[in-house]
Amino acid sequence: MKNWNPLHTLLLLSEVPKRWRAWQVALLPAGLAVVMGLAWGWAGGAELGWIAGLGLGALAAVDWWLFASLPRHGVSFGPFQPPFLGLCLVRGLVALALLPLVRAAPGAALGLLAGVQLLGLGLAAYGLLVEPFRLAVTRLDLCSPRLSNPGTPLRLVHLSDLHVERLTRRERALPALVAELAPDLIVITGDFLNASYKRDPRALADLEWLLSELHAPGGIVACLGTVEVDIPRLLRPVLARAGVDLLEDQAQVLELAGHRIWVAGINCTRDAAADGERLRGLLAAAPRGAYRLVLYHMPDLMPEAAALGVDLVLSGHTHGGQWRLPGVGALLTDSRYGKRYEAGSYRQESTYMVVSRGLGMEGWGTPRARFFCPPEVVALTLTGSGAGSEARG
C-alpha cells in the first residue's frame, strides 16, 4: 500500500486497551503476580514466592495510581491503560528472566528483583513527571553570504511538534521563554495538536491561546505536520485567529533586520520526491540572491532540498526519538533514513538542516514520557559574515 506507515499502525493498535474496563485491565498484573509468585516459590521456597508475588502486586498498584493520576494533576492526558499494562508486562518479564538465579542464590535474586523493579518505578516517574517539562534551549549560529546585512544578525526561534492536549506547565512556560530569546521571527514546523486530541474543541482552544501568546516583530510562519496529526480545515481558522501565517505549498518574501528572506512551507505527504517537486516549482519564482528558508515537517526532504540549493531547512517530527539512550541516541525514528537525521544540525552541500526534538509527545496509547531527550526550543542566529556554521548550547 502506497505511503503505508507501520509506526502509525502500531500507534493505533496501542489504543485498543483504553476501551477495557478496570477489572479487565487488572487481570494482567494480578495474573502475573500469581504466576511469578508460584514460579519463584517453586524455585526458591514458599516464603520467597509470597514476597515476589506480593511485591509485584504492590508495584502494580503504585503504577496504576501513577498513570491514572496524571490527568487529574494536569501532567498529561493520555489513556492510562496501555502504558500501565506495558509496564506490568516488563515487570513480569524481569521476574521471569531472574528465575534461573533463584535456585543458586535466592537472596541475591530477590535483591536484584527489588532493585530493578524500583529502578523501573523511578525511571517511569522521571520520564512522566520531570523530563517532559525540562524545556531546553539549543542555540545555533549559522553564517551565509546570501544574508544581505552582514552587520546585523537575524534571530529565529524554531518550534516544532507542540502536540497540545491540554495546557500544562510546559505550554504555560513557553511564551516567556520565547520572549526572552527576542526573536525577529518565529517558525513552527507542524504537528500542532496531539493525535488523540486533533478534533477536540478544548485542545484547539488551548492551542489558540498558546499561539496567541507568542510574539515576534516578523510574526509567526508555519507549515503543517503529518497528515495523521494536522487536519487543515480545523487548524486554519485557529492559526489565523492566533496570527500565524500558515504556508501550504506557498512561499513569501520577508524583510527582517535588513535581510531579505524567502520562506517556503511545504505540505508533508511522506512522499519526499513529490514534495521536492513542489519545492522546485516554488523556488523557480524565488527572488535572485534571497536567503532561502524551507519549513517541512519531516527531515526526509533534506537530499532534495540540498540538490536544489536551499540555504536552510527547518524540520521536526522525530522528537529526537523521544526515548534515547546515552551513547546510542534515538531508539526509534519515524523516518525513511532511520537515525541519519534523528535530531540536531546537519549539512549537505551548501544546505543546512536543523531537526528539532520538539516540545510535545506522541499520542494515542503511548506513555507521555521522555528519556534523555528533553523538549527543545531552537534559537538560531543568522549572520551574513562569512560561510560556515557553529553550534553551541
User: What is the per-residue pLDDT across 201-259, written as a single tens digit (0 to 9) for each?
Assistant: 999 999 999 999 999 999 999 999 999 899 999 999 999 999 999 999 999 999 998 89
CB atoms within 10 A of CB 150: 14
Residue pLDDT, tens place only, 72-86: 999 999 999 999 999
Q: Which of 157, 222, 148, 215 is nearest to 381 (CA)?
A: 157
Query: Would you state the pLDDT for residue 390?
Result: 44
First to last CA, the chain: 42
Residue pLDDT, tens place only, 28-77: 999 999 999 999 999 999 999 999 999 999 999 999 999 999 999 999 99
- Whether the predicted pLDDT of 90 surpasses 90: yes
Q: Which of 255, 273, 271 is nearest to 263 (CA)?
A: 255
Query: Would you state the pLDDT for residue 151?
Result: 80
Query: Would you state the pLDDT for residue 148?
Result: 76
The angle at the Cα of 214, spanning 301 to 379, to the nearest 5 degrees, equals 50
Residue whose grid cell is 489558540: 208
Reduced 3-state DSSP string for 161-179: CCCECCCCHHHHHHHHHHH
- Whether the predicted pLDDT of 311 surpasses 80: yes
CA separation for the pair 165, 170 (Å, rounded): 11
Beta strands 250-256 and 154-159: pairing type?
A: unpaired
Name the pLDDT band for 391 (thresholds 50, 70, 90). Answer: very low
Using a cut of 0.85, tell me whether the model's pTM lies above it: yes
Name the pLDDT band for 392 (thresholds 50, 70, 90). Answer: very low
Name the pLDDT band for 119 (thresholds 50, 70, 90). Answer: very high
The angle at the Cα of 245, spanning 188 to 283, to the nearest 5 degrees, equals 85
Reduced 3-state DSSP string for the chain: CCCCCHHHHHHHHCCHHHHCCHHHHHHHHHHHHHHHHHHHHHHHCHHHHHHHHHHHHHHHHHHHHHHHHCCCCCCCCCCCHHHHHHHHHHHHHHHHHCHHHHHHCHHHHHHHHHHHHHHHHHHHHHHHHCHHHCCEEEEEEEECCCCCCCCCCEEEEEECCCCECCCCHHHHHHHHHHHHHCCCEEEEECCCECHHHCCCHHHHHHHHHHHHCCCCCCCEEEECCCCCCCCHHHHHHHHHHCCEEECCCEEEEEEECCEEEEEEECCCCCCHHHHHHHHHHHHCCCCCCCEEEEECCCHHHHHHHHHCCCCEEEECCCHHHCEEECCCEECCCCCCCCCCCCCEEEEECCEEEEECCCCCCCCCCCCCCCECCCCEEEEEEEECCCCEEEEEC
Query: Would you state the pLDDT for residue 373?
Result: 97
- Sign of the CA dihedral with 298 first, then 299, 300, and 303 last: positive
Q: Which of 118, 10, 111 is nearest to 62 (CA)?
A: 118
CB atoms within 10 A of CB 393: 10
Determine the angle formed by the axes of helices 81-97 and 22-44, rounding to 10 degrees.
10
CB atoms within 10 A of CB 83: 23
CA separation for the pair 152, 303 (Å, rounded): 30
Domains and CATH numbers, the chain: 6-129 (no CATH), 135-392 (3.60.21.10)
Are 190 and 159 in contact by the 8 Å Cβ rule? The answer is no
CA separation for the pair 91, 93 (Å, rounded): 5
- The letter for the amino acid at 388 is G
Q: Which of 26, 30, 20 is nearest to 79 (CA)?
A: 20
